[in-house]
Amino acid sequence: MRKLKIVMTASEMAPFAKTGGLADVVGSLPEALAGRGHEVSVIMPKYASIHTDMELFHSPMGVWMGSKQEWCAVYRKKIRGIYVYFIEHNQFFNRDGIYHDNYMNDFADNPMRFAFLSRAAMQLCIDKNYSPDIFHAHDWQTALLNAYLYIWDIKNTSIENAHSVLTIHNMAYQGTYSKENVNYMGIGWNNFTFDKFEDHDRVNMLKGGISFAEAVNTVSPTYAEEVISGQGYGLDSTLRSKGSRFGGILNGADYTIWNPETDNLIRANYTKDNMSGKWICKSHLQDRFGLERNYTFPIFGIISRFTYQKGYNLISQIIEKLLSETSIQIAVLGSGDKDIEEYFSYLTRKYQGKFCCHIGFSEELAHVVEAGSDFFLMPSLFEPCGLNQIYSLKYGTLPIVRNTGGLSDTVENCDVERKSGTGFKFYDFTPEALYGTILWVLSVYYKRPDLMDILRYKAMSQDFSWGRSAERYEQMYKMVLGIS
């Protein structure tokens, strides 16, 4: 097929700015698409936390927001063959934090910041006379781009023939703000209607983006089903109205970063045929997290944002019972909700040697936990895709997941009789179900080392590399372009 010009817009991209899986996807999908012969670039903010060298590409750039013109500069850098363009706007992006301050308070001007980002991405293409075939927006932060393409007058500009798609990584975040933002956003009061942007008299950026986008996807087939059948956070019918222009495309894993054979952030490398390095990684994890250096105790790893999505209210109801009644060790890496942070700090003091939580964001420790743990705990209430369970499989760290969204699509439940599976699943979102599953896991761990070996081997043989998913994205682009 012909080479497509694809411009992605996003608020995060690894390794430049990351709070979660969105950054991993935007950090890897462009390269996978480029590998299929396409020209892909990414446009994102130049946050204060980004210190990498980059070249000035375009300055000054004027961007009309409603009746106000914003001025910014654009820098660029090539990484893994992909040009990344950084929008510099000091008032909007040169501050600590991506979405919120250190106390987790969302920045009040988020609707303006990200509406501006979307508009700036279009302006950059126009100013540079670049004609993308596809604008690919991610999440509410850049969803407005899908609408701007049809609302703003782009006739006789380089982008007049561009098409738009939108990937939704999480329906729980929709960017819903006071309708006072409509003027600055420049979306027009005529579009402040229930079928487009209006949501209980507020402006819903994701909803508007979905309404205007030519195709929309979310990040796993099961989550795509869930969000049109009651779990779409109020947007089920908006998504349903897209018909066959809405679906699920499973995320991939970037095995150049997440692979125990080559990972240089872990103490020893290993493969599914020679696991000796994993046991070195296990001891290393115990040392790094101050856990008792005992090879026989199973370590359960957790890495995540501390939000209700990830099932912390289940964990907190059983964790002390587990820690006091079993020989389990738990290593947690994460940050977010202050109550959860405080509770885990308390547990770290109370159960020294058995439980340890590192509060903060550390790429290195994430790899240390993935490699050194025996099991990875992800009891999510909902999970659009989830990447850590996919990484865990490759590290032979068996995921324990609730059967929801992408967790359902990526983990195969252990079947003791048939000696098959890649992890452990539970279904009901109850502390009893989670507790019972962990007891089951412990019995397999202690009594069936043969089965543990089989499960690890099968988990490490799974292939979730980006190739297949990139092909699905290509099909979505072709659909909106009307080409085969």
Q: How far is the CB of 243 from ligand GLC (least distance, A)?
A: 23
| 438: its two tokens | 């962990």
Omega before 399 cis (within 30°)? no
- Tell which positions 109-138 bind ligand GLC, by CB under 6 A: none
From the number of C-beta atoms within 10 Å of its C-beta (0-12, 13-18, 19+), residue 129 rates as exposed
Q: How far is the CB of 408 from ligand GLC (least distance, A)?
A: 12
Per-residue contact string for residues 17-36; x = within reach of ligand GLC by CB under 6 A: ---xxx--x-----------
Counting Cα atoms < 13 Å in the Cβ hemisphere of 9 gives 30
Q: How far is the CB of 168 from ligand ADP (least distance, A)?
A: 12
- Tell which positions 382-411 bind ligand ADP, by CB under 6 A: 385-388
Report the SS3 class of residue 450: helix
- Which of 30, 208, 209, 334 touches ligand ADP (CB under 6 A)? 334
Contacts of 450 (CB under 8 A, 6+ apart): none
Sign of torsion over alpha carbons 458, 461, 467, 470 = positive
Contacts with ligand GLC by CB under 6 A: the residue count is: 14
- In the bound state with ligand ADP, the residue whose beta carbon lies nearer, of 24 and 198, is 24
Q: How far is the CB of 267 from ligand GLC (least distance, A)?
A: 27
Residue type, 200: H
Q: How far is the CB of 383 from ligand GLC (least distance, A)?
A: 5
- Which of 333, 347, 400, 414 touches ligand ADP (CB under 6 A)? 333
3-state helix, strand, coil in the chain (%, to 5): 40, 25, 35
128 binds ligand ADP (CB under 6 A): no
Q: How far apart are CA 146 and CA 290, in angstroms?
A: 49
| 395: its two tokens | 């590290």
Per-residue contact string for residues 157-176; x = within reach of ligand GLC by CB under 6 A: ------------xx------
Residue nearest to ligand GLC (CB): 21
Q: How far is the CB of 288 from ligand ADP (least distance, A)?
A: 13
Q: How far is the CB of 220 from ligand GLC (least distance, A)?
A: 8
- Tell which positions 375-404 bind ligand GLC, by CB under 6 A: 383-387
For residue 483, the Cα-to-chain-centroid distance in whole angstroms is 30
Q: Within the chain, what is the greatest distance between any pair of CA atoms? A: 71
Q: How far apart are CA 303 and CA 367, in angstroms?
A: 10
- Which of 179, 305, 448, 472 touches ligand ADP (CB under 6 A)? 305
Binding site for ligand GLC (CB under 6 A): 20-22, 25, 169-170, 219, 251, 383-387, 406
